[in-house]
Chain A
Amino acid sequence: MDGLVRVPISEQEPKVRATNFEEVCLGYTEEEAVKEAGRCLNCKNPKCVGGCPVSINIPAFIHEVKERNFEKAYQIISESSALPAVCGRVCPQETQCEGQCIRGIKGEAVAIGKLERFVADWARENGVKPTPAAQKNGHKVAVIGSGPSGLTCAGDLAKLGYDVTIFEALQKAGGVLVYGIPEFRLPKDKVVAAEVENVKSLGVKLETNVIIGKSITIDELMEEEGFEAVFIGSGAGLPRFMGIPGEQANGVFSANEFLTRSNLMKAYEDSDTPISRGKKVVVVGGGNVAMDAARTALRLGAEVHVVYRRSEAELPARAEEVHHAKEEGIQFDLLQNPVEILTDDKGWVTGVRVIKMELGEPDESGRRRPVEVEGSEYNIDCDTVIMSLGTSPNPLISSTTEGLEVNRRGCIVAEEVDGETSKAAVYAGGDAVTGAATVILAMGAGKAAAKGIDAYFKHQ
């Protein structure tokens, strides 16, 4: 029995946390972390490392935790990851490192994510910083966007001695870590701002309020400001809507708008930016963003229903997020799809008309295709609808950069191994290339592009 089960981790009680924006998971204590680290078998051929998009030397850092060498553990992680406190919190470890863990065959996988988080939090609390490059090489690189891919690419390049400047369109650095993921999953000041500071401590410069493609173009950055290479990590773009009647009504928001108001603009704290505090909210969609929107609406005082057209098994959100959402009292109306938003005569939402669905044959994604059940429509009363259906690429950069190839969906075309685009000295990665995906995949792409950019300079 011993060793089969993880050391449990403390969380805020569901009923308590449903009314506040404090972090849900409280993290391991030193004793708990050391004990959990003791479960690692320190495999000779560690499968977990292969499951990590940024190839952290997982057994090595866990070994140091077991030995209570937390600073050493941090330095091992930061060789591979610029954002460990973020990744420890939001990576889908269950399908990556932990999904490969030998411990997981008979019992529970080692809590790699929670240990990573412990190490990163310990480092922050004890003032340990990543080590900057000993020598600058003088080459100027521009990084567009300060989200996960941009911060990773910038951090890796700075460690290699490059002179890196990040350009951020919004007023704060962090990209989706700041505007998208809520405080209760990823604290902004304590965790995100601190990780950004760590990247800056490597010598990376940061300029906010610059919209590449509008304030200045990529060609101008290279011709007028002396940047020799550029990494585009501008993220996902315009929110998608369903195209059903009533979608323009007052009270229908994209998840991006709802979350940006709450997270970036701090509307949940009663800042000057207003937010709609619905009484009954329907969130359409089943991804991580939908869970974030639903749990934010709940904390703002609403009864929340998630409407998703497939069944629970197909929910794209992380299992942990779904579990947390359910514990907090969010209701899942599965195998249903909106066909119309109902409104009153002044144009405000009064409900959603949905149709029941059943699962048919598998589609291109391998998931069973949802099919409408004829005549099964019914109405759900609500005053707010949040559409969380993904995004389509932002055209600001692709439309203003000559020679930059995009695919038929409007995503920038870039090589997976090194981020190379069709334009010389321009690299790209993250959601701008893949469409909406995860923080860690974007970080993996940022890392690959940093290597690609370094190779580009070496071969010149």
Chain B
Amino acid sequence: MYEIVRKEQLAANIFLMDVKAPRVTHSCLPGQFIIAIAEEDGERIPLTICDYDREKETVTIVFQPIGASTLRMSELNEGDSFHDFVGPLGQPSELCLEENLEETKKKNIVFVAGGVGTAPVYPQVKWLKEHGVDTTVIMGSRTKDLLFFVDEMEKVAGQLCVTTDDGSYGFHGMGTDQLQALVDAGQKFDHCVAIGPMIMMKFVCLLTKKLEIPTIVSMNPIMVDGTGMCGACRLVVGDEIKFACVDGPEFDGHLVDFDQAMARMQQYKTEEGRKKLAYEEGDTHHGGCGHCGGDK
């Protein structure tokens, strides 16, 4: 069992947890992910590592409940435990490897984080700061109430730009608008990391292709085992089939086929929706979902 030593509600529907997991903190690096299972026979939920403390042996995860399993996870409290918690999985971010540090120091790096994507961006920015690399971070959300980690990011970013789609805080617009504005103002970037919803990463990549800024994205497709066994997370990158769990999760964003990846994300939407409804409504469910037959 893996104890939750801290839980925070970061925003209306976004949760942070520090989970005791010595096997993970032994070797994890920014860019990698873990898989958590809330209770026995629960679903395997992959989450990018948001922070880690090797001394306290804790891993920080941030997530937004969207299905039955993540809802169940959000109901766990400090002192409760995950039934299973395994990692680190996937390849670490190339920016955060000691052996690449000389190269990395020469780059002007911009991060574009969207929504919960702020969480996996944070450890990379922090790692770079600790290794003497200042970066620009654009972090955005739909509205002010969904923003989190602003103060934390302020401490580690060289330049922080916060955006909201509705203008309720910071720059009024999307991350792509902010990036364009910075470039228009004469700032130069030669490396971009975009992490967030697939649609947002797609649009960042369209822009950075035009601006000729090499861009890395972190893909979060459907996964089951996460160890290179099931093939559910396969993506087309360039002309090749890649497995996000062992080859990724980070890829060259200009080579990723986002439309196909987004189509594949729809595969279990109906089943997931049903399971969420069934979980939320429990015994009070009396049909109307179109599947259970309760309304016939």
Q: Which residues 45-67 of B sit at the A interface, judged by CB distance below 8 A?
A: 67
Question: A275–B230 contact, CB under 8 A?
Answer: no
Question: A276–B43 contact, CB under 8 A?
Answer: no
Complex-state Cα separation, A346 to B259, whole angstroms: 10
Question: A216–B225 contact, CB under 8 A?
Answer: no
Complex-state Cα separation, A170 to B227, whole angstroms: 9
Is there a chain A Cβ closer than 8 Å to B202's Cβ?
no
Chain A 385-396 near chain B by CB (<8 Å), digits 1 or 0: 000000000111
Complex-state Cα separation, A347 to B260, whole angstroms: 8
Complex-state Cα separation, A44 to B251, whole angstroms: 64
Question: B271–A271 contact, CB under 8 A?
Answer: no
Question: A275–B271 contact, CB under 8 A?
Answer: yes
Q: How many residues of A contact B (CB 8 A)?
A: 38
Question: A171–B83 contact, CB under 8 A?
Answer: yes
Question: B86–A209 contact, CB under 8 A?
Answer: yes
Question: B231–A346 contact, CB under 8 A?
Answer: no
Question: A169–B44 contact, CB under 8 A?
Answer: no
Complex-state Cα separation, A239 to B267, whole angstroms: 19
Is there a chain A Cβ closer than 8 Å to B129's Cβ?
no
Is there a chain B Cβ closer than 8 Å to A210's Cβ?
yes
Chain B residues in 8 Å Cβ range of A347: 260, 263-264
Chain B residues in 8 Å Cβ range of A254: 230-232
Question: A238–B43 contact, CB under 8 A?
Answer: no
Min distance, Cβ A90 to any Cβ of chain B, angstroms: 19
Chain B residues in 8 Å Cβ range of A264: 225
Query: Which of B24, B243, B267 is A238 in contact with, Cβ under 8 Å?
Result: B243
Chain A residues in 8 Å Cβ range of B87: 211, 214-215
Is there a chain B Cβ closer than 8 Å to A39's Cβ?
no
Min distance, Cβ A357 to any Cβ of chain B, angstroms: 25
Q: B interface, by DSSP: helix, strand, loop or mixed?
A: mixed
With A209-B85, A215-B24 as contacts: A250 and B234 at CB distance below 8 Å: no
Chain B residue with Cβ nearest A271: B41
Min distance, Cβ B34 to any Cβ of chain A, angstroms: 10
Question: A276–B246 contact, CB under 8 A?
Answer: no
Query: Which of A169, A215, A265 is B43 in contact with, Cβ under 8 Å?
Result: A265
Question: A214–B225 contact, CB under 8 A?
Answer: no
With A250-B263, A276-B268 as contacts: A257 and B84 at CB distance below 8 Å: no
Min distance, Cβ A101 to any Cβ of chain B, angstroms: 36
Query: Which of B26, B69, B225, B266 is A260 in contact with, Cβ under 8 Å?
Result: B225
Question: A396–B246 contact, CB under 8 A?
Answer: yes
Chain B residues in 8 Å Cβ range of A171: 37, 44, 83-84, 86
Question: B225–A170 contact, CB under 8 A?
Answer: yes
Q: Report the number of A-B residue pairs with Cβ-Cβ less than 8 Å.
A: 119
Min distance, Cβ A116 to any Cβ of chain B, angstroms: 29
With A215-B23, A272-B42 as contacts: A260 and B246 at CB distance below 8 Å: no
Chain B 74-95 near chain A by CB (<8 Å), digits 1 or 0: 0000000001111111000000
With A214-B89, A250-B263, A272-B43 as contacts: A261 and B224 at CB distance below 8 Å: yes
Question: A274–B84 contact, CB under 8 A?
Answer: no
Complex-state Cα separation, A237 to B224, whole angstroms: 14
Chain A residue with Cβ nearest B25: A215
Chain A 194-237 near chain B by CB (<8 Å), digits 1 or 0: 00000000000000111100111000000000000000000001
Complex-state Cα separation, A274 to B27, whole angstroms: 31
Min distance, Cβ A395 to any Cβ of chain B, angstroms: 7
Chain A residues in 8 Å Cβ range of B268: 274, 276
Complex-state Cα separation, A59 to B244, whole angstroms: 51
Complex-state Cα separation, A395 to B245, whole angstroms: 12
Question: B228–A250 contact, CB under 8 A?
Answer: no
Query: Which of B26, B234, B271 is A215 in contact with, Cβ under 8 Å?
Result: B26
Is there a chain B Cβ closer than 8 Å to A248's Cβ?
yes
Chain B residues in 8 Å Cβ range of A266: 41
Chain B residues in 8 Å Cβ range of A256: 229-231
Query: Which of B68, B85, B229, B275 is A237 in contact with, Cβ under 8 Å?
Result: B229
Chain A residues in 8 Å Cβ range of B271: 274-276
With A209-B84, A250-B264, A272-B275 as contacts: A216 and B229 at CB distance below 8 Å: no
Chain B residue with Cβ nearest A238: B228
Complex-state Cα separation, A216 to B22, whole angstroms: 11
Min distance, Cβ A234 to any Cβ of chain B, angstroms: 10
Complex-state Cα separation, A239 to B241, whole angstroms: 12
Query: Which of A209, A241, A272, A395 is B231 in contact with, Cβ under 8 Å?
Result: A241
Complex-state Cα separation, A271 to B83, whole angstroms: 15
Is there a chain B Cβ closer than 8 Å to A70's Cβ?
no
Is there a chain A Cβ closer than 8 Å to B177's Cβ?
no
Complex-state Cα separation, A264 to B229, whole angstroms: 13
Question: A179–B228 contact, CB under 8 A?
Answer: no
Min distance, Cβ B244 to any Cβ of chain A, angstroms: 12
Query: Which of B26, B44, B86, B266 is A265 in contact with, Cβ under 8 Å?
Result: B44
Chain B residue with Cβ nearest A180: B229
Chain B 22-38 near chain A by CB (<8 Å), digits 1 or 0: 01101100000000010
Query: Which of A214, A238, A271, A274 is B272 in contact with, Cβ under 8 Å?
Result: A274
Report 25 cross-chain contacts, Cβ distance below 8 Å, ordered by A residue.
Answer: A171-B44, A179-B225, A209-B23, A209-B84, A215-B23, A215-B27, A215-B86, A215-B87, A237-B229, A238-B231, A248-B241, A248-B260, A254-B232, A256-B229, A256-B230, A257-B232, A260-B229, A265-B41, A265-B44, A266-B41, A271-B41, A272-B68, A272-B69, A347-B264, A396-B227
Footprint of A on B, CB under 8 Å?
A: 23-24, 26-27, 37, 41-44, 67-69, 72, 83-89, 224-225, 227-232, 234, 236, 241, 243, 246, 260, 263-264, 266-268, 271-272, 275
New contact pairs (12) apart from A238-B228, A238-B231, CB-CB < 8 Å: A238-B243, A239-B231, A248-B234, A271-B42, A272-B67, A272-B68, A272-B72, A272-B275, A273-B44, A394-B227, A394-B229, A396-B246
A-B interface, 8 closest residue pairs, ranked by CB to CB distance from nearest? A274-B271, A257-B230, A209-B86, A347-B263, A254-B231, A239-B231, A171-B84, A272-B43
